[in-house]
Amino acid sequence: MKRTTLSALFALALLAAVPQAQAQTDLSIGPRVGYETDSENLFIGGDARIGVEAVPVRINPTFDYFFVDGDVTLFQITGNALYEFGIDNTTFTPYAGAGLSYLRFSIGDVSDSDVGLNLLGGAEFTNVGGFVPFVQGEFVVGGDTSPFKITGGLLFDV
């Protein structure tokens, strides 16, 4: 009987903790645009930032589609971890991060893919009308090329 009561109390404690954990998680998504200096191509994409208030690191998945001439398709999927520096600033919040990058390209019937390590840094600016502007620079190490991307975008809370 004692074990059943303890199990029931433990289950109730877990149920009570679930809404609190959900309330502490934040999700921001939004569009992004940029320029890749190695191939000199513009790109558009999507950016997401997933964080927990108690942890200064946020998960950052992205997708970018590159505008390339000819019969070429080029896109990149990344997964980064962003560390926000605890600088007390009302204008912007700087961050740095690292992660993995998957690049897929095809020319006609031939296609290939590449994996690399991302190193990036940037800043999120003060909320403007419900949107948070950001800019960042990203360098990809490994694979056949080592491109540098300059990216800007707008994030909004979901």
Question: What string of DSSP letters covers 38-100?
Answer: TTTEEEEEEEEEEEETT-SEEEEEEEEEE--SSSEEEEEEEEEEEEEP----SSEEEEEEEEE
Is 111 in a helix, a strand, or coil? Answer: strand
Give strand pairing partners of 54: none
| Tens of pLDDT, residues 20-54 | 444 478 999 999 999 999 889 999 999 999 998 88
Q: What is the pLDDT, as a whole number, of residue 17?
A: 47
- pLDDT confidence of 9, banded at 50, 70, 90? very low
| Tens of pLDDT, residues 90-135 | 799 999 999 999 999 999 899 999 999 999 999 999 888 899 999 9
Token duo for residue 117? 């390590």
Q: What is the pLDDT, as a whole number, of residue 15?
A: 47
Write the DSSP symbol of residue 144: S
| Tens of pLDDT, residues 50-92 | 998 888 899 999 999 999 988 899 999 999 999 998 776 779 9
Instruction: Name the nearest CA neighbour of 147 among 85, 49, 66.
Output: 66
Q: Kindly list the distances between the CA atom of residue 51 and the CA atoms of 25, 58, 77, 81, 137, in Å, as whole numbers in the listed order.
A: 6, 4, 19, 10, 21
Write the DSSP symbol of residue 13: H
From the options 3.40.50.720, 2.40.160.20, 1.10.287.3510, 2.60.40.10, give the CATH code of 25-157: 2.40.160.20
Write the DSSP symbol of residue 131: B
More confident residue, 8 or 137: 137
Contact of 87 with 93, CB cutoff 8 Å: yes
Q: What is the pLDDT, as a whole number, of residue 146?
A: 75
More confident residue, 150 or 91: 150
Residue reference for tokens 């190490």: 141
- Domains of the chain by residue range: 25-157
Token duo for residue 21? 């954990």
